[in-house]
Copies of this chain bind each other. A is one copy, B any other.
Amino acid sequence: MAPSLDDNNNNNNKIIEDEMTHLKSRVTVENVKYLPGIKLGKNVVANPDLENAVKDANLLVFVTPHQFMEGICKRLAGKIRSDAEAISLIKGMEVKREGPCMISSLISEKLGVDCCVLMGANIANEIALEKFSEATVGYRKNKEIAEKWVQLFNTSYFMVSAIQDVEGVELCGTLKNVVAIAAGFVDGLEMGNNTKAAIMRIGLREMKAFSKLLFPSVKDTTFFESCGVADLITTCCNGGRNRKCAEAFARNGGKRSFDELEAEMLQGQKLQGVSTAKEVYEVLSHRGWLELYPLFSTVHEICIGRRPPTAIVEFSKKILPGAYSIQPVDTLPTSFELMVDAFPRFLNAINASP
């Protein structure tokens, strides 16, 4: 939402107020900065006063950069209706060394409400033009609440499905950005269509394996939903900023840093893929799983200049000879075959970790 972010939550009020100035009056509601020319509907009310905005609300929809959420939750705690329900459209979360901090969990814990998520292949201006698309609601336990959210969001051109896998849906939204960086490298190196598709596929596998390792409840089928394969396609194949900056990075042979390219190309916005790759790397490194996620780990090593962009297609050499050849399909989804053998060890490790 906000073009320039920092982690200081004290700045949030100022930024939210700045953003509100882009919203015109109630009569002709329009976001002149981000969606010029699109009428948002007369029932949309721009309200810069957070506490006032939520006072009587029974359905809370959160859409903000994830850095803001901790501060927003602090301000809202104890000020919302006891029967309120929340949904997060925030794509992103913090993967801390001791484990991931999911935004939906943060909202649930801090506000004491149920929190679903909504993710999918949803480029905003295309939805605004009412082009057909899909989205996925992830819910934890309460199917009735999920049905309510589906009813609220679903239209003839926006088809919403609900699945009972809140972590899986939310992790898709975050991890796809790491794959988009890899896809951008492939584009910058002009490796062609086969390579791009292979990297996206390997990325999807690592997304699935990583999500399932962090949350054993995550379901394979989630990755066939809009939040999974469809969002991955839009993020890796089009003009998204992660893919675009990574392409520029590779074209420059890694000689210009991501910080430099971000400053030049994004007017102060930060690339979520680069920071997520770092966080994922820390988790993998901490748990000794780096070699099992060659794509995720290589992306980070390229981003920090430890390896050249061309390394994105060299990771296959890291796999033990022969290990890639035959894979039993009935096992749990894996990041390459090695994981099949190592899986019980991972589950033990993950259960033993704090």
Of A48-56, A73-81, A191-199, A300-308, the one contacting chain B is A191-199
CA distance A230 to B317 in the complex (A): 20
> Chain B contacts of A278 at CB under 8 A?
none
> Chain B contacts of A231 at CB under 8 A?
197
Closest B residue to A219 by beta carbon equals: B329
* A279 interface contact, C-beta 8 A: no
* A126 interface contact, C-beta 8 A: yes
A325 near B233 with CB under 8 A, answer no
Q: Mark A221-256, 1 if CB is under 8 A from B, else 0.
A: 111111001110110011000000000000000000
Instruction: Name A329's contact: one of B164, B195, B313 (CB within 8 Å).
Output: B164
* A212 interface contact, C-beta 8 A: no
* A123 interface contact, C-beta 8 A: yes
Known contacts: A156-B317, A224-B205, A317-B156. The answer to whether A195 contacts B133 by CB under 8 A is yes
* A28 interface contact, C-beta 8 A: no
* A327 interface contact, C-beta 8 A: yes
B195 near A132 with CB under 8 A, answer yes
Known contacts: A126-B193, A192-B131, A325-B161. The answer to whether A198 contacts B226 by CB under 8 A is yes
* A275 interface contact, C-beta 8 A: no
Known contacts: A201-B224, A226-B198. The answer to whether A193 contacts B329 by CB under 8 A is no
B219 near A330 with CB under 8 A, answer yes
Closest B residue to A154 by beta carbon equals: B325
Listed A/B pairs (15) with beta-carbon separation below 8 Å: A131-B192, A132-B198, A132-B313, A147-B326, A157-B313, A160-B324, A160-B325, A162-B325, A162-B326, A164-B328, A193-B238, A194-B234, A196-B234, A220-B220, A224-B333
